[in-house]
Structure 1
Amino acid sequence: MNSPHKLISLTPVAAAVTAALCPGQSAEAQEATGRTDFLEEITVTARKRTESAQDIPSAIQAISQESLATMGAKGMEDYSRFVPSINVVSYGAGSSVVVFRGAITGPSFIGQATSSVYLDEISVTQTGSQPNIRTVDIARVEALSGPQGTLYGSDAQAGTLRIVTNQPVLNEFEAMFDSELRGGSQSDVSYRSSLMFNVPLVDDKLAMRVVGYKDHDGGYIDNVFGRTADSYGFGGENKAPSGWGTLDNSASVKDRWNDADVVGGRIHLLWNMNDRWSTTLSYHHQSTDSGAENYYDPFVGDLETVRFHHEWRKEDFNMASIKVDGDLGFAQLVAAVSYYERKAESQFDNTNYAHYWAAQYCHDSSYTPNPAMPYYWTNPETGYLVLFPVYCQGPTVESDYLTKSAGKSDDDKLTAEIRLSSEGETFDWIVGLYREESGNGALEGTPFAVPTTGGDGSNEIYQNSVSLQYWEMYWSNYYGTPTTYPNAQAHWYSGGHTDWEQTAVFGETTWHINDQWDLTLGGRYFDRSNVRQTWVDHPGGPTWADGEPDTTSGDRDYRVANNGAPPKVSGGETQFIPKISLNYNFADNKMVYALYTRGLRQGGVNNIRGEPFFPRAYESDIMDNYEVGYKSTFGQGRGRFNMTAYNMVWDKYQLSLVDPTDPPCEVNGVIDYELSIAGVCGQPYQNLIANAGNAHIDGVNVEVDYALGENWTLGMNYEWMEAETDTDQDLTGDGEPDLVAGLRLPLVPSSKAAWWVGYSKPTQMFGGTEFSVRTQWSYTGDSLTILDPRGLEDPNPQFKSPSYVIGDLRFSLDAEDWGVSFFINNLTDERAVYTTGTGTFEWGAAQTAEGRAHHSTLYVARPREAGVRFWKGWGE
C-alpha cells in the first residue's frame, strides 16, 4: 500500500519533523549504507523541474505530506508557524493575508498582494487575499522566499507559497479515510473528515484520484449582550448625540458565533497516452460557510465582543485545468490551461463606524434657514440647519440606530502557459510563454451602512431616516418636482471591477561551469494592462456638485447610455525582471551561493472621486533582493544546517491611505462647507493607493535539523528581520513629513522561531508497529498594525500586537495501514493576537454605563484544545 503514512526506514515522526523544512541526504544513500538515521529528502518543483531543495541556490523550504499530518495542520496559519520567512495574518475562515519577508505596508485588501499562493499551476491570490485551502491529500507545500519574478511573474514580488496536490498513480488502487475530533473548554467541538481514492481505470493508461472532505471549526468567540456607545471622543470630549446608548444587541447575542463549515473536493484524471505524452485533467472545489471573523474585544471580556448584527461569510472557489506533458527528445514540454473562479458574500456589523461619522457631522449648525442655502436640511425640532444630514441614519438628529453592511467579490482568472525545459551535463534551461486574463471586484455593488433594527438585518429602516429626508429634499429642489426614493436602503451605494490582461515571456538557464561552480541567468518580460470601473451612488443616482458630474459615478449621460455602467479607466506598463545567481559546491553536500533577483508589483488605477491630492494612477513598486546562503548536510547524513542572509531594497512602495483633501475648506479661519479646492480641501472622503517612498528589509534565516540515532529527532529555525522605511514622505501637502525614515513596516514580527523534538520506538501495543511523541513550539515577535505611528488620541491608532508562543503535544500509534493520535494544541492557552483591527473608527467609542472605555478588535488564534485523530488506509 502506498499510503502517505507508510512506514519508511526513518521513523515517521522523525521523517515528518526533519523534512518539514529542507531535505537532506537521499534515500538511496540510506539503502547503500544500511543506516536508518538519515534525514529524509523531499524533491520539489519550485524551479518548474524536479530536484532536491538542498540543490537549489535560493531560500526554499518544503513541508511534506507526512509533516503536515504530524503537525496537525489544517490550513496555512498552522504550517506557516514553522516557516519563519512567512507571516500569515488570519482574520477568519477564508480571509487571510500571506506575507513573505515583511513585505507589506498595511492591512488593506484593495491593492495587489506582494506575495502569492499557488494551487498547482495557478495563482489563487488576488487583491491581497486568497482562499485558505485545506491540507487534504496535499503532496507538499513549498515556500519560495524572496522575489520569484522570472518564473512566477508580478504575483511574486516578495515570495511564493506553492500548494502541490497528489497526482494519480497508474496501476495502483489506494483509499484512505482520515478524521479528527477536537474541542476545549472555550471552544465548541470541531471535526475534520476526508476520503481519498486512487483508482486505476486502464492498465498503464488511465488513473483517477478523487478526494472529498468536510470540516467544521467550532467557534470560540461569544457575542454577548451590550448596548451602543453613548460617548465618542477623546480627552473627556463627548461628540455623541444625547439619544445614544439605549439600543442593545439582544437580537444577535450568540455563543461561539465564529464557527465555520468547509466542504470541498478534488478530481484528477491522468491519461498516459504513450511513453512520451500524458494529459492530466483536474478540478478543485471548496465552499466555506462561516460566522463572524476570529476577533474579540478586550474591553468586553476574554473571547467576547458586542455586535448588533449577525455576521457571516460565504465563499466558493472552483478551479479547472488541463496539463499536457510531452517528451520532445531535445526538451520536455509542459502546456497548461487553468480557470479559477472565487465568489464571496458577507454581512458584518458596522454600527461603530457609522456612529463615528454621525458623532462628527450629525449636529445642528449655528445657521437658520436662508433662501441662499436651498440644499441644506432644517432640523424641525430646533429650526437650525444640519450641514451634513446624510450621516443622520436615525429618524431624528439625536436618535440612535444600528447599521450593517454587505460585502461582495467576484474574482476570476484564466491562465495559459507553455514551456520547454532541458537538463544536460553542461546546461539546464527553461523557456516559456504565459498569458493571463483576470478580473476582480463586483461592479453591481452593494449598499453600505444600512440602518436596521439589528439581528439578521432584514428590518431596514432607512426610509424613516433624516438622511433620506435630506436626499429627497435635495433632488426635489434640484429637479423642481417632488422626488421620492421608496426603495432606498442606505445613503451610500458603490461598486467596482478591474479587468487585467498580461502576456509574458520568461526563461532561465544554468551553466554547470565545472563540478563545483554553477551560474544561473534568468529574465521575464511582460506586458500588463488593467481597466478599472468604479461608481458611487446616493439615493437618486449619480451625485452632482456645482452642476458638474461627480467623477466617481462618471458622466450621467455615459451611464444612462451604458445601462448604468461607469466609464472605463485604463492603465498598464511593460517591464523586464532579471535574475542572476552563482553557487559553489565546495564539498559533498555543502554549497554557498550568491543571488540577485527582482520582484515587481503591478501599478493600477485608483477609485478617484472629485479632485484629490493623490493622482489617479499609481506606479509599480520594485523590490531588489541581494542574497547569500549556505546549505549543508553533516554528520554523515544525520544533520542539516542552512543559513541565508538577505537585503531587499523596496523602491516606491505602494501604500493604501485616506486622501487628505476630505476636510472642509477654511477661509480666514471660517469653515466654508460649499467650497472645494482641487487637491487641497472639500473633496470626497476616499481610500487611495499611492507610491509613498522607499524601504529596506534585511534579514538572516537559520535552520538546523538533526537525527539523534533511530529514536530521537530535533529541529529549529529562526529568522531575524529589520523592515523599515528609508525616506520621509509628505502625505498631506503641507510640507511636513507624515512618514519618516526608520518606521517599522506593519503586520510582520522582527523575529520568528520554531523548535520541535520527536521520539519514536517500535512497539506491538494494540497491534501497532510504532509509538511516537512530538512536541512543537513556535515564537512570533511583536508587530505593528499600521505604518503610520498615530497615537491613541486618533480614531484609528497604531497598535502593537504582542509577541506570543504556541506549543503543541502529540502522541501517536501507527501501523502499516492505520494510525491514531492524541494531541493538545496551544498547550498554554496563549491568547495569540495576529493583529488588531484598524480603519473602522471605533477606538474612540465608549459605553460609559457598562464600563467600556473603548471598542477594539483583536484577531486571535484558537484557544487550548484537545483531540484525537484516526486514519485508515486500504490498497496495495
Structure 2
Amino acid sequence: MKQMKLTTAIAMIMPLMAGPAFAQDASETVDEEYVAETIVVTASRREENLQDVPASVSSTDPQVLIEAGKTSIKDIVELTPGVYAEDLGRPGATRFSARGIPQIGNTAVFGIYLDDTPLTSSSSFTAGTTFMLDGLLLDLERVEVIKGPQGTLFGASALSGIARYITKEPALQEVRGSVSADVSWTNEGEMSNVLSARVSAPLIKDKLGITLSGYRQDFGGYIDQYDNAGTLLAEDIDSSEVEAYAADMLFRANDRLDFRLKYIHQKTTVDAGSRVRLESLTSDKSPFGTFGTSAQPEPMNLEYDIVSGTFDYDFDFATFTSTTSRSEYDVETRSDESASALQVDFIFGLPLGTTQSLTNVIGISSERFTQEFKLTSASNKKLEWILGAFYVKEEGTNSQDLVVVPDTPIKLFQSYFPNDYEEYAVFGDVTYYLTDQFDVTVGARLSENEVGLVFDGEGLLVVGPNPPISINDSVKDTVDTYLFTGRYRPTDDLSLYARIANGYRPASPNIPLADQSTGEVITFPVVESDSGWSYEAGAKGRLLNGRVNYDAAIWTLELDKVQSPLIANGINTLQNAKSGLEAYGVDAAMQFKPTTDFEVGATFSYAQSELKEDEPGFGGVKGEQLPMVPEYKAGVQWQYTHDLTPDWTGSFSGSVVYTGEQTSRFAVPRATFAGKLDARTITDLSLNATNGSVRVGLYVKNLFDERALSTRTDTDVNFDNIYTAGLDSSTGIYVRPRTIGVNVGYTF
C-alpha cells in the first residue's frame, strides 16, 4: 500500500517536471536574447549555484512578498512545498516543521538562522518551538529554506530543516535605501499599517559601510469578545504591534580581510491572541458572531536582542571565518485555561460553575552565546572541504503560575525552573570530484551536549498532596551525525543527486509531576535524544534555455525515540515514544517563463508520516497520519509585467495555495482530542506599478474570504477515566479574513 501511494504521488508530479508539454506552445515565444537567471545560495555553507546544491533548497526574494502585503516568514513557508507552519495567533509565535516530522515535543525540529547565527533554542524549557525572530522586513538579500535533517552542518534542532535570513552587505561604494508604507483593511476587523525604512552608505569608500533600518507594524484586530451568555464585551481585541531597528557595519580592511558587526532589536506587543473558543470538539465554528470568543484575552510581550560579529580572512587556499553572537529574548504572556474550570470544581468538590477563570501566567527568558570557527577551502572543482568548531552556552528561565478566580485554598500549579544548555561540536565535510560531472561528499559532526535543570514546584497538579519539591539535575549526551551525497551533472542544465543525512534533538532532564492521589512521580526523569535518518534523491534542471526550471525530490525518513508529549494532570511534559515514526514523500517545484513578461510557478508536496507502533502513552495509533502534517500541499504563483508608459511598468501577480486536511493531535483521546482541520485554499492577488524609483501597489489576501482554521486544540477531559465526560473544550485560530491593502515605496 505504501508503495502504491508513493508511486501515485510521483506520477502526479511528473507533469511538473516534464517540459515537453510546454515545449510546443513556448517555442514560438522563445527570445534568443533571454539569459537564464543564476541563483546563488549558501545552503552547503559555501556559495553555490542553487541548481548544483545536492539538497532540496528554496530561495526567496522577500521584497516580492512584501509588495504583496506578506511580511512574515510564515508567508514564505506557506509557499514552500514540504514545509508547514502552525499559526499560534500572535506575531512572532509560529511552529515550523518539515518532511513529515511534526512539532510535537518541546524542543524545536526546525531551526531559524540569521546568516550563520543560530537563533533557535535547543533547550526544551525556553519555548524555542514557539517564539522566533520574524525578520522578513530586515535588509535581506534572500531567505533560504533547506529541507531535511541538517545535523552535520547546522547542529542540534535542525531535524526537519532550517530557514536562514541572508542579510545584504552594507554598501561600500554608493548610497542605497528605501522607504515604504502599507495600509490594509481586514474584513470585519480593524485597519493595519506598516512603515519601514532603510539606508546603506559608505562611510569610507571601499572600506567602511553601514546599514541602518527600522520598521513598525500595527496589526488591527478582528476577534470580538463575548461573555458566556453571548453579550458582546469588546470588538477587535486581538490587535498587536511590532517595532524593530537594526544596524549593520562592514569593514573591508583589504582584499583579504573583512569584519562585520550586526545588531537587531525587535519588540512585539500583543493585546490579545487570535485564538477563538469553538462550539465543540467536532465544530469549526465560534459560538458567538463570525469571529467571536468567550475566552479571556491572552496578551504577550516578546523582546529580541541580537549582536553578532563575523571575521573573514582569505588565505587563498581557504577562507577562515569566525562568527560570534549573543542573542536573548524575553517573553511575558498569559494563557487562558478557563475551559478547565469545571475540573477545578470537580477536584475540590465545589458546585460546578464556582470557578470563574483559570489563567496561566508565563515568563520565559533566554540568553544565548555562540562561537563558531570555520575554515572553507577554495572552490576548485577537485577537492573541496570544510572544517569547523562550534560552541553554544544558553541560560534560560521559565516560570508559570496558575491563577484561579476565585482563589482556592490549595495552590494548583506554581513553578520556577532555571535551565541551561551547553554544546561543544566539531564538524566538517569533504567533496571529491571523481570527474567534472560526478562528485561525492562525506561529512560528520561530533557534539557533546549538556542540559541542566533546576526545578522548584508546588501545587496539587505538580506534586499532589506532597510538600513543594526542588530538583537540580543535568543530562550529558554525545551525538554524532553524518552526511553522504552523490551528485551527477551530465549537462549544464541537469543535476541529479542522492543524499543521506541525519539530525537530532538533545537529551534533557524532565519536569517531575506526581500522581494527585498517591504523590508518586509519574513522569520520566530523562527524555532521551531522538535522531532521524533521511534518504533523498532529486533532480534539478532547466529547459528551453532556462525558461523552464524544475526541482523535484523523493525522500524517506525514520525517526527513533521520538520526543513526544506526555499529559499528566492536564499539564504537558515529555516522554520518548517506544518505537518511532517513518515518513516518505515527494516535493516538486517548477518555474516557467514563456515570455520575458510572464512567469508562472507550480509547487507540489506529498508526505505520509506515521508511527511504527501504537503509542498508548500519548494516544498514537500505528499507521495514522501524524498531527499537523497534511498529506498534500500545492500552489500556483504567477507574475505578468507590462509597460504602461515609456517610464512606468505594471505587474499583476498572485498565488493560490492548497493545504490538505490535518488532525490537531494524536488519534486516541486522553487529555487531547484529534480534532480535524479541513483542507483550505487561499488565493492572493496584487497589482503594482513602478518607474524604477517610485512604486505603488494594491493587493488582496484571502480573496474569497475563506473561513478556515489553520490551527486547533481540542481538550477531551478523560484523564484515565478520573473525570466524567462532557468537560471538554475546543479552541482554534482562523486564517485572517479577506484583507485589502495599498502600499507605496521609494527606492534610491
**What is the aligned partner in structure 2 of residue 121 from structure 1?**
116
**What is the aligned partner in structure 2 of residue 532 from structure 1?**
453
Matched residues in 2 for 1:533 and 1:35: separation? 68
Contact 2:102 2:628 in 1 (8 A): yes
**What is the aligned partner in structure 1 of residue 347 from structure 2?**
361
Which of 719, 722, 725 pairs up with 2:611?
725
Q: 1:774 to 1:54 in 2, by over 3 A?
A: same
Which of 699, 703, 710 pairs up with 1:834?
710
Pairs within 5 Å for 1:728-739: 728-731=614-617, 739=620
**What is the aligned partner in structure 1 of residue 730 from structure 2?**
856
Q: 1:290 to 1:510 in 2, by over 3 A?
A: same
In structure 1, what residue type is equivalent to 2:656?
W
TM-score by length of 2: 0.88
Q: 1:416 to 1:408 in 2, by over 3 A?
A: same
**What is the aligned partner in structure 1 of residue 249 from structure 2?**
269
**What is the aligned partner in structure 2 of residue 448 from structure 1?**
402
Which of 46, 49, 63 pairs up with 1:49?
46
**What is the aligned partner in structure 2 of residue 67 from structure 1?**
64
In structure 1, what residue type is equivalent to 2:312?
D
**What is the aligned partner in structure 1 of residue 488 from structure 2?**
584
Which of 688, 691, 714 pairs up with 2:600?
714
Contact 1:299 1:853 in 2 (8 A): no
CA RMSD of aligned residues (A): 2.5
Matched residues in 1 for 2:353 and 2:216: separation? 49
Matched residues in 2 for 1:798 and 1:627: separation? 31
Matched residues in 2 for 1:805 and 1:842: separation? 35
Residue 775 of structure 1 aligns to a residue in which SS?
Answer: strand
**What is the aligned partner in structure 2 of residue 170 from structure 1?**
172
Pairs within 5 Å for 1:657-672: 657-659=566-568
Matched residues in 1 for 2:744 and 2:715: separation? 43
Matched residues in 1 for 2:316 and 2:174: separation? 28
**What is the aligned partner in structure 1 of residue 238 from structure 2?**
258
1:776 aligns with 2:690: no
Contact 2:715 2:729 in 1 (8 A): no
1:418 aligns with 2:418: no
Pairwise CA distance, 1:447 = 2.2
**What is the aligned partner in structure 1 of residue 10 from structure 2?**
none
Pairwise CA distance, 1:777 = 0.8
In structure 1, what residue type is equivalent to 2:610?
E
Pairwise CA distance, 1:609 = 3.3
Q: 1:48 to 1:303 in 2, by over 3 A?
A: farther
Matched residues in 1 for 2:529 and 2:683: separation? 40
Matched residues in 1 for 2:384 and 2:740: separation? 49
Contact 2:614 2:620 in 1 (8 A): yes
In structure 1, what residue type is equivalent to 2:59?
A
1:806 aligns with 2:682: yes
Which of 253, 270, 275 pairs up with 1:290?
270
Pairs within 5 Å for 1:539-688: 553-554=468-469, 566-610=470-514, 611-659=520-568, 687-688=573-574
In structure 1, what residue type is equivalent to 2:559?
W
Pairs within 5 Å for 1:390-429: 399-422=354-377, 423-429=379-385
**What is the aligned partner in structure 1 of residue 124 from structure 2?**
none
Per-residue CA deviation, residues 601-627 of structure 1 (Å, 9 max, x unaligned), is 112111113444442112111110000
**What is the aligned partner in structure 1 of residue 337 from structure 2?**
350
In structure 2, what residue type is equivalent to 1:810?
S
**What is the aligned partner in structure 2 of residue 742 from structure 1?**
623
**What is the aligned partner in structure 1 of residue 95 from structure 2?**
97
Matched residues in 1 for 2:403 and 2:264: separation? 35
Matched residues in 1 for 2:386 and 2:323: separation? 15
Pairs within 5 Å for 1:186-585: 186-227=188-229, 253-296=233-276, 297=278, 298-307=285-294, 309-358=296-345, 360-363=346-349, 399-422=354-377, 423-442=379-398, 445-451=399-405, 461-462=406-407, 467-468=408-409, 471=410, 491-538=412-459, 553-554=468-469, 566-585=470-489
Matched residues in 2 for 1:840 and 1:341: separation? 37
Matched residues in 2 for 1:762 and 1:609: separation? 67
Larger mean Cα displacement after TM superposition, 856-865 or 300-309: 300-309
Contact 1:249 1:308 in 2 (8 A): no
Matched residues in 1 for 2:679 and 2:295: separation? 31
Contact 1:641 1:703 in 2 (8 A): yes
Residue 856 of structure 1 aligns to a residue in which SS?
Answer: strand
**What is the aligned partner in structure 2 of residue 133 from structure 1?**
134
**What is the aligned partner in structure 2 of residue 23 from structure 1?**
none
Q: 1:534 to 1:307 in 2, by over 3 A?
A: farther
Pairwise CA distance, 1:651 = 1.2
Pairwise CA distance, 1:200 = 1.1
Matched residues in 2 for 1:308 and 1:87: separation? 27
Residue 339 of structure 2 aligns to a residue in which SS?
Answer: helix
Q: 1:730 to 1:803 in 2, by over 3 A?
A: closer
Matched residues in 2 for 1:147 and 1:814: separation? 41
Matched residues in 2 for 1:646 and 1:139: separation? 29
In structure 2, what residue type is equivalent to 1:168?
P
Pairwise CA distance, 1:796 = 2.9
**What is the aligned partner in structure 2 of residue 474 from structure 1?**
none
Pairwise CA distance, 1:769 = 2.3
Contact 2:226 2:288 in 1 (8 A): no
Contact 2:716 2:728 in 1 (8 A): no
TM-score by length of 1: 0.75
Contact 2:186 2:222 in 1 (8 A): no
Q: Which has the higher strand share?
A: 2
Pairwise CA distance, 1:179 = 1.3
Pairwise CA distance, 1:728 = 2.7
**What is the aligned partner in structure 1 of residue 517 from structure 2?**
none
1:789 aligns with 2:675: no
Contact 2:339 2:728 in 1 (8 A): no
Unaligned runs of 5+ in 2: 1-29, 122-127, 279-284, 515-519, 720-725
Contact 1:44 1:51 in 2 (8 A): yes
Contact 1:105 1:787 in 2 (8 A): no
**What is the aligned partner in structure 1 of residue 22 from structure 2?**
none
In structure 2, what residue type is equivalent to 1:361?
I
Matched residues in 2 for 1:773 and 1:326: separation? 45
Pairwise CA distance, 1:745 = 0.9
Matched residues in 1 for 2:238 and 2:456: separation? 32
Residue 515 of structure 1 aligns to a residue in which SS?
Answer: coil
Matched residues in 2 for 1:543 and 1:731: separation? 20
Residue 772 of structure 1 aligns to a residue in which SS?
Answer: strand
Residue 477 of structure 2 aligns to a residue in which SS?
Answer: strand
**What is the aligned partner in structure 2 of residue 700 from structure 1?**
586
Q: 1:826 to 1:609 in 2, by over 3 A?
A: closer
In structure 1, what residue type is equivalent to 2:382?
T
Matched residues in 1 for 2:155 and 2:643: separation? 48
Contact 1:45 1:51 in 2 (8 A): yes
Contact 2:604 2:633 in 1 (8 A): yes
In structure 2, what residue type is equivalent to 1:125?
T
Larger mean Cα displacement after TM superposition, 140-149 or 685-694: 685-694
Q: Who wins on radius of gyration, i.e. which is larger?
A: 1
Matched residues in 1 for 2:686 and 2:367: separation? 40
In structure 2, what residue type is equivalent to 1:284?
I
